Structure 1
Amino acid sequence: MQEDIEYDVLTIQTPKRARWYTRLWPSCLGHGCSCRKRRGQQRKFPLYLIGYDPIGELQRAASVGDVTSIEQFMNSQEHHVDEHDTKHRTPLHYACAHNHPDVVKYLLSKKACIDVQDDEGCTPLMKATQRDNVECVSILLIAGANPHLMDLSGNTALHHAVSRGNTTIASKLLEYNANIEAKTECGLTPFKLALFEEKYQMAQFLKQNGAIAPLEVESY
């Protein structure tokens, strides 16, 4: 409980950098932007884990990968495949957040809504990306998940992959035509976000895959 309190009151301070993209920082504060890291300091709890403790029995089964129980719930007709909690998080969200590919496949076979968004605008694809769950990401993309959707802060799944520094997932998203120049509400493209979060290997990867680099940062 004490750790939760400390996390909730954590104050973010503007990083003191000379680079051009520091001008974007004030506009990100208070908007849940992916720009949430400063040099030498990280949040104690990843934002993408908050709220993903399941409450309903169907969500609990999805979060632990219990396909058998999910099948029983579906067969009983007492639950719907897109049944959601108060945060609009469906079993597919939970399966992707907790990395259970078999559950993802089963739910999709039952016509689960693949692009459903929770109260933060996150899709199952975004949740899988935030947790570095490559197999879940692949399953969703093959099944037709939309990589262009944005959460409430304007982040696409590619932005989340960049924030995680996961070039494997970023590559998969680009294979399915994710917009490499999509901008968040802060005005950050994936390339600019990579620089802002000091993910220079990711920035180079994006540039090699066609990202437009501003003249100020052509050396990256």
Structure 2
Amino acid sequence: IEPPPPNRFLEAAKVGDAESVKKFLEDPKHKIDQKDPAGVTALMHAAKNGHLNVCKVLAEGGARFSAKDDAGETALMKAAKNGYLDVIRFLVDAHVQQRRKTQVLSLTGVNDAPSKTEQRRVVDATDDEGVTALMKAAEAGQSEVVELLISLNANTGAKDDEGWKVIMWAAIAGHLPIVEWLVTEQ
């Protein structure tokens, strides 16, 4: 069986070609949240590769930030593993705003700064094994991402399906500076 031909829309997102992504989105046959054979969307490809400009184009087009690939990973998780701080900040802010728009009425008002609860709901999303973006960043040795996610109210006490916390993910991967930082910051 031959693999399917490459999807030019997803490839444009993967390589950071924002202009091509915009053009593809003008054609209604290109669905913004279409997935490749592994369930990866254009937003996930762009986030994984640090293409903030493409993430912004896709956000403007209405891409779902909560979409998950076949392993349950989100765009935020992919950016976290690869250390893209600007993409992470954008994804969290844009996802919180998208969540607010889908809520019927908010007593606090739409223009208020995101609450800790709203941010935590976004940053603490889990994959199919209960692993968060914070755990993935710690495992990958992305110390700046770990600090950023914690500043965005990530739950350092969260456990995955095996009962592992973020400090365990950092330790098992041999990232002692992250382990030390987590211990001193807790």
Do they superpose with TM above 0.5?
Answer: yes
Other-structure match for 1:57:
8
* SS at structure 2 position matched to 1:198: coil
Q: Which amino acid aligns with 1:180?
A: T
* Counterpart pick for 2:145 among 169, 191, 195: 169
Give the share of equivalent positions with the same residue, in percent. 29
Query: Aligned to 2:69, what secondary structure does the other structure show?
Result: coil
The normalised TM-score by structure 2 is 0.79
Q: What per-residue deviation string (whole Å, max 9, x for no partner) do you get for residues 108-157 of structure 1?
A: 11111011100000000001111122221121122136111111222100
Partner residue, 2:113: none
Highest CA radius of gyration, 1 or 2? 1
* Secondary structure of residue in 1 paired with 2:19: helix
Task: Give the RMSD, CA atoms, in angstroms.
Answer: 1.5
> Where does the alignment leave 5 or more consecutive residues of structure 2 unmatched?
97-121
What pairs up with 1:35-114 in 2 under 5 angstroms? 55-114=6-65
Q: Deviations over 1:150-189 (max 9, x none)?
A: 1122210000110112121111111221110111222110
Shift of 1:83: 1.4
- String of CA shifts for 1:37-73, please: whole Å, max 9, x gaps: xxxxxxxxxxxxxxxxx93111001011111111111
Partner of 2:118: none
Aligned mates of 1:159, 1:125 — CA distance in 2: 12
Give the residue type in structure 2 aligned to 1:206: L
Contact 2:72–2:127 under 8 Å retained in 1: yes
Deviation at 1:191, TM superposition (A): 1.2
Where does the alignment leave 5 or more consecutive residues of structure 1 unmatched? 1-53, 211-220
Deviations 1:78-104 (A, max 9, x none): 211111123221100110112211000
Residue 129 of structure 1 pairs with residue 80 of structure 2: yes
User: 2:133 corresponds to which residue?
Assistant: 157
State the shift of 1:209 in Å: 2.5
1:169 alignment partner, SS class: helix
Q: How many residues align?
A: 157
Question: Does the alignment pair 1:144 with 2:120?
Answer: no
Q: Is 1:191 matched with 2:174? A: no
How does the TM-score come out when normalised to structure 1?
0.67
Matched with 1:118 is 69
